[in-house]
Amino acid sequence: DAGVIQSPRHEVTEMGQEVTLRCKPISGHNSLFWYRQTMMRGLELLIYFNNNVPIDDSGMPEDRFSAKMPNASFSTLKIQPSEPRDSAVYFCASSEAGFKNIQYFGAGTRLSVL
């Protein structure tokens, strides 16, 4: 398997624009996680899905953030409108089943909002 695939690897946008980050989990994994990494706050869990259903979105910072998982092989994280403080590296990870199984991380999307 190619591992968790994220796109784009880098995104530069202007404040106010909509940003969509994409993730393809490892085939056969039932859980998908979205994280944000910044120097100030470290690695934060934003939301996670089990069998395509959002289980806990308490880490999503604001209503400007939304995540979907329309099927087992694809998820998106959308920011609308984007703000400079959203600049960070966003990681997607997947596991066979929840937190008790190893999470495999994608390479991340580095987002810069100008």
Partner 1 sequence: GEDVEQSLFLSVREGDSSVINCTYTDSSSTYLYWYKQEPGAGLQLLTYIFSNMDMKQDQRLTVLLNKKDKHLSLRIADTQTGDSAIYFCAVVYSSASKIIFGSGTRLSIRP
| Residues found near partner 1 in the complex (CB under 8 A) | 4, 42-43, 45, 56, 91, 93, 98-100, 102-108
CB-CB contact of 21 with 5 (8 Å): no
Contacts of 61 (CB under 8 A, 6+ apart): 46
Secondary element (H or E) of residue 44: strand 42-50
Q: Closest distance between partner 1 and the C-beta of residue 75, in Å?
A: 15
Nearer to partner 1 (CB atom), residue 72 or residue 107: 107
Q: Closest distance between partner 1 and the C-beta of residue 112, in Å?
A: 14
Q: Closest distance between partner 1 and the C-beta of residue 33, in Å?
A: 8
Return d(Cα 79, Cα 18) in angstroms, integer.
6
